[in-house]
Amino acid sequence: MAAEFIKNIYQVKLFAGLIFNDEIFLAKAKKILISFIDKIDFESQILNFTFTDYYEKEMGKNLKRQFVSFESLMPPESIIKIKHTCWEIEKVLSVKGKRRINIDPGYLNLFQLVLATTKPYSHRIYLGERVFVEVTLIFHKGSFSPLPWTYPDYQTEGYLNIFNRLRATYKKQMENLGCLKY
User: Using CA atoms, how far apart are residues 43 and 116, in angstroms rounded to an integer?
Assistant: 19
Give the CA count within 13 Å in the CB-facing half-sphere of 127: 19
Q: What is the pLDDT of residue 1?
A: 43
pLDDT 10s per residue in the chain (182 long)? Answer: 444 545 566 899 999 999 999 999 999 999 999 999 999 999 999 999 999 999 999 999 999 999 999 999 999 999 999 999 999 999 999 999 999 999 999 999 999 999 999 999 999 999 999 999 999 999 999 999 999 999 999 999 999 999 999 999 999 999 998 887 65
User: Using CA atoms, how far apart are residues 20 and 114, in angstroms rounded to an integer?
Assistant: 22
CB atoms within 10 A of CB 135: 16
Q: What is the pLDDT of residue 55?
A: 96
Q: What is the pLDDT of residue 8?
A: 65
User: Using CA atoms, how far apart are residues 70 and 68, in angstroms rounded to an integer?
Assistant: 7
Q: What is the pLDDT of residue 10?
A: 86
pTM, 2 dp: 0.94
Q: What is the pLDDT of residue 2?
A: 47
User: Using CA atoms, how far apart are residues 98 and 117, in angstroms rounded to an integer?
Assistant: 19
CATH class in words for 2-176: alpha beta
Q: Where are the domains of the chain?
A: 2-176
Closest CA to 134 of 153, 165, 164, 113: 113
